[in-house]
Amino acid sequence: MARQTGPPVKVVRHWSDVGVVAPVCRTTGGYRRYGTAGVARRHMARTLRDLGMGLGEIRAALDREDGLIEVAAAHAEALEVWIRRLRTHQAVPRTVTRRTTREGLALMTRTAHMSPGERRKLVHDFLGPPSHRTPGPRS
């Protein structure tokens, strides 16, 4: 299988040991033999791995043929959450690059050391509930 699908033999053995691909038999010398279904499963597993899925997720997706779409959808949602988190982290240094003052650097340091809960509280406190906001000037 390693020759047919590309990864090192150690990777194929590991994926076999964790249940991602299963050999159909072993030779008298103890070598694992894989059928065409195993090779196809290995290709699909590699695709899912390239998309960032963990081996447990991959095994679960491949074990449930009808669940592959649901697993892919859940993984896509997890990636969206990760991307939003990264964009939030990216916003801090971007803001500082626009404010090159000591105040900006101090703000970045304080914000970077806050927990996600503290940052949410900071934003919530800043915005406040709608009933406590002071109205803007009237025309």
Cβ(64)–Cβ(73) under 8 Å? no
pTM, to two decimals: 0.48
Averaged pLDDT in 10-residue chunks for the chain of 139 residues: 66 83 85 81 81 82 72 77 83 71 75 82 71 49
Residue with tokens 């993984």: 75
What is the distance between the alpha carbons of residues 88 and 110, in angstroms, rounded to a whole number? 15
Angle at 61 between CA 56 and CA 67, to 5 degrees: 145
